[in-house]
Structure 1
Amino acid sequence: MDQTTTTRNQELQRQWYGAPLGELCRDLCTLFAVTQSGLADILGVSPAMLSLVMSAQRARIANPDAAARLSSVLHLAHDVRTGAVPAATARETLATIRASRTPGQDSLGTTSHPPAPSQPAPPPARSPAQDPDTHFALRLRDLLNSRAGAAEILAAAALLEADHPGLADILRTCGAGRTD
């Protein structure tokens, strides 16, 4: 990969995430005492993919679930640093973040299998026509995704978090393709 592409990718990462992902991820590994491979596991990406974005050979993590998890881990890091979340509970929160998935899909966006017979089936979903809130959320998601990629939306949410946490939550939720 040539230096021009790497420089461009680092600049895009600064715009989307506030800093190059290499810096951010190394900082997360130090803060949470995890290896790069451990961070990749939390995010739900391969260590090789994380290495590519950290070295700016790739500009972003394209998987919306993984991008949403990265945003959550970055927010957790901020909350731990400010004292809003005790450092002692960070491991549990990281495990919750690791387990998060877009409802109805696996980490690759493939429709999940129905629940096993031992699990109760979820209530039937109402169609958007029946539920105005779902209809609105779907329209908002489509509008956001027509204007920006998931990484840009999540980066905007991160910028709004301190002053407008409710708006940041809406951006994270819709930007990651969730409507629940």
Structure 2
Amino acid sequence: MDATAIARNQELQRQWYGAPLGELCRDLCERFGMTQSGLAETLGISPAMLSLAMRGRRARIANPDAAARLSAVLHLAQEVRAGTVPAGDAPGVLAEIRTSRTPGQDSMGAAVLPHHETEDPSADPDPDLHFALRLRDLLTSRAGAVDILAAAELLDAAHPGLAEILRVCGAGRTDEAVALVRTTGR
């Protein structure tokens, strides 16, 4: 691959992720005290695939589960930097991220009907959880977690409330989404 293609891929990464994946992933490894192989394991991809993306030989991580996990790890790093998640909690959150799947998609990116859509909502013992999951399904059926976070960043200055909804309900943890639903009402 020539230098022009690598530069193009890195520019696309800046647009999609805010910085080239090499910079982002090195920061994540340093922040969480993990190797590149450890980060690849957390994302659910091979170390070779992560290396290709970090060197700009791939513009993006195509596996939707891995892309969503990367988004979640980037979000966790922001929360640790901001102090909203204690650094000591990060290993547990990373373990949760490692086992997560993209809502509304199978491992090949095909849409699937979430289990809770087949249930009677009136029988749901936690309507706030049901609402948060439905909202997440709606958002993730239209865009991936990385794109949702990018949209939130664009909205943040002018519409911080909407940006928070996108970040938390579209790309955050389920418990945070439920807490947001409960504090803001429907």
Which structure 2 residues correspond to residues 73-92 of structure 1 after superposition, within 5 A? 73-92=73-92
Distance 2:94 2:39 in 1: 9
The answer for the alignment partner of 2:24 in structure 1 is 24
Distance 2:105 2:145 in 1: 16
Structure 1 residue 65, shift from structure 2 partner: 1.2
Which structure 2 residues correspond to residues 106-121 of structure 1 after superposition, within 5 A? 107-109=107-109
Distance 2:18 2:53 in 1: 14
Identical counterparts, % of pairs: 60
Structure 1 residue 125, shift from structure 2 partner: 1.8
TM-score (norm 2): 0.69
Task: Tell whether 2:165 aligns with 1:166.
Answer: yes
The answer for the alignment partner of 2:41 in structure 1 is 41
The answer for the alignment partner of 2:147 in structure 1 is 152
Q: Deviations over 1:13-47 (max 9, x none)?
A: 11111100000000000000000000001111111
- Indicate how the Cα distance of structure 1 residues 125 and 46 shifts in structure 2: closer, same or farther if over 3 A, else same: same
**Contact 1:160 1:167 survives alignment (8 Å):** no
Structure 1 SS opposite 2:58: coil
TM-score (norm 1): 0.71
Distance 1:12 1:80 in 2: 26
- Indicate how the Cα distance of structure 1 residues 138 and 80 shifts in structure 2: closer, same or farther if over 3 A, else same: closer
Which residue identity lines up with residue 169 of structure 1 in the other structure? Answer: V
Structure 1 residue 158, shift from structure 2 partner: 5.1
Distance 1:169 1:136 in 2: 11
**Contact 2:80 2:86 survives alignment (8 Å):** yes
The answer for the alignment partner of 1:118 in structure 2 is none
Higher relative helix content: 2
The answer for the alignment partner of 2:175 in structure 1 is none
- Indicate how the Cα distance of structure 1 residues 102 and 141 shifts in structure 2: closer, same or farther if over 3 A, else same: closer
Runs of 4+ with >6 A deviation: 133-139
- Indicate how the Cα distance of structure 1 residues 161 and 94 shifts in structure 2: closer, same or farther if over 3 A, else same: farther
Distance 2:98 2:43 in 1: 6
Gaps in structure 1 of 5+ consecutive residues: 113-121, 128-132, 174-180
Which residue identity lines up with residue 99 of structure 1 in the other structure? Answer: T
Distance 1:107 1:161 in 2: 31
The answer for the alignment partner of 1:125 in structure 2 is 118
Gaps in structure 2 of 5+ consecutive residues: 121-130, 173-186
The answer for the alignment partner of 2:127 in structure 1 is none
Give the length in aligned residue pairs: 156
Structure 1 SS opposite 2:56: coil
